[in-house]
Structure 1
Amino acid sequence: MTVRIGVLTSGGDAQGMNAAVRAVVRAGIQAGAEVFGIHEGWQGAVDGGDQIRRLEWDDVGNVLARGGTVIGTARCAAFRERDGRKRAALNLITHGIDRIIVIGGDGSLTGTDRLREEWPAFVAELADAGEITAEQAERHAQLVIAGLVGSIDNDMVGTDMTIGTDSALHRITEAIDAISSTAASHQRSFVVEVMGRHCGYLAVMSAIAGAADYVLIPESPPADDWKQHMSHVLRQSRRAGRRTSIVVIAEGTQDRQGNPITPEDVRVVLADEMGEDARVTILGHVQRGGTPSAYDRWMATMLGHAAVGEVLRGDREPQLVAVRGNRPTFMPLMEAVAATRRVASLIEEGRYDEAMAARGRSFVQMTQAFHQLSEARPDAEPLEDCRQIGVLHCGGLAPGMNATAAAVIRLGIDRGHEMFGVHGGFPGLIDGDIRRLGWGDVEGWTASGGANLGTRRTIPTEEDLYALSRSIETSGLDALIIIGGFNAYRALTLIHAERKRFPALRLPIVVVPCSIDNNLPGLQMAVGADTALNVAVSSVDLIKMSASAAKRAFVVETMGRHCGFLTLTTGVAVGAERVYLHEDGITIADLKTDIDAMVEGFRSGRSFYLAIRNEEASPFYTTDLITRMFEAEGRGEFSVRGSVLGHVQQGGAPSPFDRINGVRLASQAMQWVTEQLASGADQHVFVTPDGMRDVRDLDELVDWQARRPLEQWWLDLKPVLHDLTRTPGVASAPGSLTGRGARPTTMER
């Protein structure tokens, strides 16, 4: 008998749940299983009947861009009782389902595991009562489960991110940006409450992304003098010239005596201590709504695909399908749930340091980074042996460059350094276009697109090095922080190689990675890549809408040069049928197979086809040529349009992740520079999330000719895209995603 898998969403909804459901349905069908949607969560399992329905390939065809969950969710009181779980077991067995993938929070996952434990007893009781046959009892003797975490709070221990968190951060950051503009007009203070009963992730990260002044979270209640401390921080910010004050508070915040701290409490403090007529904004359920972000689409897709493999395997204890380093990983389900619930217990017991540590190293680091920025002294006196640090951009524009530069400059001023902005990249440094920057000079940069210091792709040649070293000597720079892309790494290697000839180049230099291409070594995501991806995904969403009234195929070109990150992740996030990467190249055989499959699809009832091409996938088979080939072979049965997204991918306000990532890497860079100056060292390094790497490591990490890292983690998405877009029964094209250049999905790391 064919294996049957049930999928349900339970508890609070979260953006990205639909991407996970789609992945489960299509990966299951691709593996030869039948997949059933259990509607309205566990309530649907308890009710049975039409609430448990088989889902076919096309039933999940247009759900990626939709918020909420298309199969519904509910909190089920009946499922908390044994009789309710027994009814659920009966209904599942009646439908032949004994493998379940649950997308929900810790409560939903705990209830599911309890059903699994009770399942053998339920099977025996139902068989004895004659409600199921002996054959059914034997065939469905065990329940196999896997869990995906759908929660905007990012409160599950053991996973880097939960489904819905990134989208919620988008909603919150958009709100704070909007509030900041009106607050600045009136020089007004705002208190913004975000979700998070026991978890301050949304509060901390949105405070960083929104450049807020103060944050209050459950895991680390403020000291007893928090009212005075908060007022001092806000006054200091106003003295530095800021026209707004923004305080972000998580809904579950308490003081150290366990008394709730509400937004109204904060408003009263601002009125009493500062004479501010503060306003309160409670964002509420708007944080759960709206279109899911690009990350929540491709990440949830990847996890749903991995979950199918896990339940089909079915030979170990229930697993949480988590994400670590942007790859699927697995851990015992109830171990993760227990660790998550322990955090709430630690908070209740007042063991706040342990609660923070339980959230993970990254959360602790980012909380510290926020406090460093918010409490940095705008009027800090330069040190007696004050050092001068230059900040410049190099390479193509990447959203988030301004946020990164602002963090570097303010953290440097706080440490007693004099900070100098170099305008126009290396040509500006050679020409001496260098200006001292103060605290107020970078106000508003965090949310700003573009690069206010300017950027150039130009890197110094050997002939430029004398002029470069003379400029460094003349300006008195003691260290350089270069914020940029691949050319910044090129420049670093050149400067390092020539430091013996030019003593002025023997100063600490660090490169902070910013590039929309995401082609830089030693890290998962460069600053700017997430924004470019979201722009590409939003653009393709609009393109897909334009085709809703007619049979149409689109060939969309993304940026990325020789790195296919933007192309492939966009393809996964929007459900493209085909992607063309530089890493694979394009052959006429590939195109013939693709055209044949596309034409057959339209003849069989398809109304839309989407191919996405990396801008340098092939020097011969251009976007225009592929569009014309598709049009010619369509013979009027459907129309074909080409669309080159172009530089729109470099524009717009940086995404929350790019702002947060920029601050994280800037904090590391400034800490390193300060230590180098204190010790008299003069290393040349580049930043990674795990620390600094020496410039001499680059040859082991980079394909200099192709301008990309030797290891590209995102290539693991290729078989995921293939399995979820190739209609079962259609053969793989030569060189397609499971053909040349493909790598198997990494299920555990």
Structure 2
Amino acid sequence: MNRPDSIGVLTSGGDAPGMNAAVRAVVRTALAEGVDVYAIYEGFRGMVEGGDAIRPMGSHDVGGILHRGGTVIGTARSDRFRTRDGRRQAAANLLAHGIDALVVIGGDGSLTGANLFRSEWPELLEELVEAGELDADVAAAHPHLRLTGMVGSIDNDMFGTDMTIGADTALHRITEAIDAIHATAASHQRSFVVEVMGRNCGYLALMSALATGANWAFIPENPPQIDDWEASLQSMVRAGRRIGRRSNLVVVAEGARDLHGEPITADRVQKILEEGLGEDTRVTILGHVQRGGATSAFDRNLSTQCGYHAVQELLRLGPDEEPKLIGIRRNRITSSPLMEAVERTHAVADHLQRQEYDEAMLLRGGSFAESFETLRTLVRAQPSPPIDSEPSLRLAVLHAGGPAPGMNTAARAAVRVGLDRGHTMLGVQRGFKGLRDGDVAQLDWMSVSGWVSRGGAELGTSRLVLGADELAAIARTVEEQRIDGLLMIGGLSGYEAAHALLTARDEHPALDLPIVCLPATINNDVPGTELSIGVDTALNSIVSDVDKIKQSAVASRRCFVVEVMGKSSGYLALTSGMATGAERIYTPEEGITLDALQDHVRGLTESFRNGQSLGLVIRAEEADEVYTTPFLWALFEKEGGNLFDVRQAILGHVQTGGNPSPFDRIQATRLAVRGVDYLVEAAVDRGLASAVGGLVAGKVAFTPLQEVPALLREREERPTDVPWFSLRPIADVMARPAPPPTA
């Protein structure tokens, strides 16, 4: 199979945070594979204009762009590219550089245009040869145009990928704004209406409402199901005021409509709320701030992985193969037929145009519909009336282990969903210590108000090794409180304590109750899940701090050694290293050897001799017992000599603090809802074993609690299975030292 001679990369359509990370990944992967790569500036317009708009790229050309929003190679509309003549000129310009493969980063319109260009390629070359504008041998050497695409769109509106590049960052901007609005709204007992982007997709509106505790969201895919929805909205808001809600906040997608297709605008909702409440209601239209700002950690790493795989797919594609869309499905990078994804994306818009809302919701996928139903539950002013035929259980919720952002979010969702299902919800203070001491209290709907965005652990948390006395005391509390099921939200010590309760059932019959553990730890070191609640927040905290550290070193030739948390798991080290552009990443899974250190010292000194001005090393806190962070600092400082100096930064417990990120809030809510449902089913029919819940291949899955010890490495506090470590080769390619710029 012939490999492409040269690869071109362009960004097109609306800009999206993460595009720069994708361009960087394409360039560095192509160079690592020995293929020349060109950036096409200003999108398709640059392709038609040619000349200086098509430039060869070296690794150093994409240094320092990983964190930046927008796109440094520009994007622009091109009327000329829409014409046959324009596309013919674009083909000539590409072949002037030997480019016969493209990576296009943009929306469905950009990808559709790129596919048309690909399909016309042989005819365009034939026309150029006939006109004497292209040598026949050159045309014969490049008979086909290979194409891969990535979706850059903050709306998350493309079929074929669970997340589009830029959507997570946009959700960060929206969530930060709504959190701030909540504070002022509560101070004045005022209502706010917030309009977010989403002409044909309600993802941003739905997920931001779920992540911020908004009172309602209007989305294009699911309009109010009654004609008199205005009265229903007013009634809902008044009910919230009666139970003590100090703020009312409604999120409106820009493309929201009612059942008859009439727009539901922010101004319309404002007027309805003012009429229903007789109080001031303000409108905030977030607009293009949703596109801006530094790129989130998730978008940096998603874009990097997609860019890497886009090049690998180009190298694999046969000359006649259909173009591929590179995206993420179920937490795995995948490729799928490009035009099939575009057509199914257009199908959603067509259904909305025809007011076929059930079909549109179906195409959005099960998790989208599930999130919408969850929101309908959480926004209620009070639980649904109990159903007499359903059993009422007493379910206890507790935290255990170190604090992790998102613990409160999970507890809030669990309590409200449990109450809505007709059960009594109990809150246990200080984890298993509180359960031992009988520190248990009943929680109502408003007990967890405001917890969705709050960091820390409002119920308190602790690490407690359960001996015989503790087990006996916990059994007494369970019996006295008549607890029917236990939901533990926490880390590895919480899993171990829950397993101890499981094994003590024969001795203490009161402990024969279902237990569900949900993963909440920044270390990402518990079994049964690929991602833990709190990890994304910690990762963004690290990335934000390292970005600042790198800025401080711009004016000097300096290398930083940054230590991050994680205990015996290198997840935070590896993913933060990818997201910040670290040259070296040290993890417990690999350890540190003297040979590796010697190689790294030589590599650093060579890079600084070649003009590099900044070095970054990320070290997991337990990467090695001997080669500590101070040791690395002293080693690099000594060997750096006059080339560069070295600073160390141990980030510490700032990684466990802060308000949870949107990703953590959404996943915490999702896990809690499923966890309560599982716990109830296990308590009612005893047909399910106690379990640990988690996200496996993008889905919520449950693993029997009794299997936890077998899923951990012997004498090591980390799971035997760490699928995320497959990112290591990508991180290595991205960190490959750049050759010195040529004169």
TM-score normalised by the chain length of structure 1: 0.95
Q: 1:655 pairs with 657, 661, 677, which one?
A: 661
Pair 1:564-2:570 in alignment: yes
Report the Cα offset of residue 376 of structure 1: 6.1
Q: How does 1:314-353 map to 2 (within 5 A)?
A: 314-315=317-318, 316-353=321-358
Partners of 1:424 and 1:456 within 8 A in 2: yes
Structure 2: distance between partners of 1:529 and 1:149: 25
* Corresponding letter in the other structure for 1:370: L
Deviations 1:161-204 (CA, angstroms, capped at 9, x unpaired): 10000000000000100110010111111111111111111111
Pair 1:628-2:638 in alignment: no
Deviations 1:454-497 (CA, angstroms, capped at 9, x unpaired): 11122422342111101111222222111101122212222111
Partners of 1:521 and 1:702 within 8 A in 2: yes
Q: 2:463 pairs with 441, 448, 457, which one?
A: 457
Q: 1:139 pairs with 138, 141, 155, which one?
A: 141
Structure 2: distance between partners of 1:77 and 1:268: 41
Structure 1: distance between partners of 2:645 and 2:536: 32
Pair 1:469-2:492 in alignment: no
Give the aligned partner of residue 414 of structure 1.
420
* Corresponding letter in the other structure for 2:348: V
Q: 2:61 pairs with 59, 68, 83, which one?
A: 59
Report the Cα offset of residue 304 of structure 1: 0.3
Give the aligned partner of residue 202 of structure 1.
204
Q: Which secondary structure does the structure 1 equivalent of 2:517 belong to?
A: strand
Structure 1 gaps of 5+ residues are: 731-749
Give the aligned partner of residue 734 of structure 1.
none
- Name which of structure 1's ranges 488-497 and 182-191 shifts more when overlaid on structure 2: 488-497
Structure 2: distance between partners of 1:428 and 1:565: 31
Partners of 2:681 and 2:688 within 8 A in 1: no
Deviations 1:234-271 (CA, angstroms, capped at 9, x unpaired): 22222221101111111111111111111111111112
Partners of 1:571 and 1:612 within 8 A in 2: yes
- Name which of structure 1's ranges 676-685 and 6-15 shifts more when overlaid on structure 2: 676-685
Give the aligned partner of residue 736 of structure 1.
none
Pair 1:374-2:400 in alignment: no
Give the aligned partner of residue 710 of structure 1.
720
Q: Which secondary structure does the structure 2 equivalent of 1:703 belong to?
A: coil
Q: How does 1:384-463 map to 2 (within 5 A)?
A: 386-463=392-469
Q: How does 1:33-112 map to 2 (within 5 A)?
A: 33-112=35-114
Partners of 1:492 and 1:684 within 8 A in 2: no
Structure 2: distance between partners of 1:20 and 1:680: 49
Structure 1: distance between partners of 2:267 and 2:241: 22
Structure 2: distance between partners of 1:377 and 1:443: 12
- Name which of structure 1's ranges 563-572 and 265-274 shifts more when overlaid on structure 2: 265-274
Distance verdict in 2 for CA 1:241–1:531, change over 3 Å:
same
- Name which of structure 1's ranges 392-401 and 365-374 shifts more when overlaid on structure 2: 365-374
Structure 1: distance between partners of 2:718 and 2:369: 31
Deviations 1:488-547 (CA, angstroms, capped at 9, x unpaired): 221222211121221111112111111101122232321100000000011110110111
Give the aligned partner of residue 741 of structure 1.
none
Give the aligned partner of residue 242 of structure 1.
245
Partners of 2:7 and 2:102 within 8 A in 1: yes
Report the Cα offset of residue 109 of structure 1: 0.3
Structure 2: distance between partners of 1:623 and 1:499: 45
Distance verdict in 2 for CA 1:122–1:217, change over 3 Å:
same
Report the Cα offset of residue 380 of structure 1: 5.4
Structure 2 gaps of 5+ residues are: none
Give the aligned partner of residue 116 of structure 1.
118
Q: 2:505 pairs with 468, 484, 499, which one?
A: 499
Q: Which secondary structure does the structure 2 equivalent of 1:692 belong to?
A: strand
- Name which of structure 1's ranges 705-714 and 170-179 shifts more when overlaid on structure 2: 705-714
Partners of 2:521 and 2:535 within 8 A in 1: yes
Give the aligned partner of residue 706 of structure 2.
696
Deviations 1:65-84 (CA, angstroms, capped at 9, x unpaired): 11100000012222222222
Give the aligned partner of residue 182 of structure 2.
180
Q: How does 1:553-702 map to 2 (within 5 A)?
A: 553-679=559-685, 683-688=689-694, 689-702=699-712
* Corresponding letter in the other structure for 1:718: R
Report the Cα offset of residue 699 of structure 1: 4.3
Pair 1:719-2:722 in alignment: no
Give the aligned partner of residue 263 of structure 1.
266
Structure 2: distance between partners of 1:200 and 1:535: 28
Partners of 2:538 and 2:656 within 8 A in 1: yes
Structure 1: distance between partners of 2:447 and 2:700: 30
Give the aligned partner of residue 740 of structure 1.
none
Pair 1:160-2:165 in alignment: no
Give the aligned partner of residue 746 of structure 1.
none
Partners of 1:509 and 1:682 within 8 A in 2: no
Q: Which secondary structure does the structure 1 equivalent of 2:646 belong to?
A: strand
Report the Cα offset of residue 681 of structure 1: 5.8
Partners of 2:4 and 2:100 within 8 A in 1: no
Report the Cα offset of residue 12 of structure 1: 0.2
Taking only the aligned residue pairs, the percentage that are identical comes to 50
Partners of 2:563 and 2:650 within 8 A in 1: yes
Structure 2: distance between partners of 1:626 and 1:567: 15
Q: 1:226 pairs with 220, 225, 229, which one?
A: 229
Distance verdict in 2 for CA 1:651–1:477, change over 3 Å:
same
Q: How does 1:286-305 map to 2 (within 5 A)?
A: 286-305=289-308
Structure 2: distance between partners of 1:313 and 1:98: 14
Give the aligned partner of residue 553 of structure 2.
547
* Corresponding letter in the other structure for 1:278: T
* Corresponding letter in the other structure for 1:709: P
Report the Cα offset of residue 419 of structure 1: 1.6
Report the Cα offset of residue 320 of structure 1: 0.3
Give the aligned partner of residue 735 of structure 1.
none
* Corresponding letter in the other structure for 1:346: H
Distance verdict in 2 for CA 1:287–1:29, change over 3 Å:
same
Deviations 1:306-355 (CA, angstroms, capped at 9, x unpaired): 11111122213110011123331110000111111111111222221221
Q: How does 1:270-289 map to 2 (within 5 A)?
A: 270-289=273-292
Structure 2: distance between partners of 1:99 and 1:35: 10
Structure 1: distance between partners of 2:714 and 2:373: 36
Structure 1: distance between partners of 2:427 and 2:49: 65
Report the Cα offset of residue 566 of structure 1: 0.2
Distance verdict in 2 for CA 1:406–1:2, change over 3 Å:
closer
Report the Cα offset of residue 717 of structure 1: 1.0
Partners of 2:397 and 2:488 within 8 A in 1: yes
Report the Cα offset of residue 656 of structure 1: 0.5
TM-score normalised by the chain length of structure 2: 0.96
Structure 1: distance between partners of 2:392 and 2:328: 44
Structure 1: distance between partners of 2:530 and 2:359: 28
Partners of 1:237 and 1:378 within 8 A in 2: no
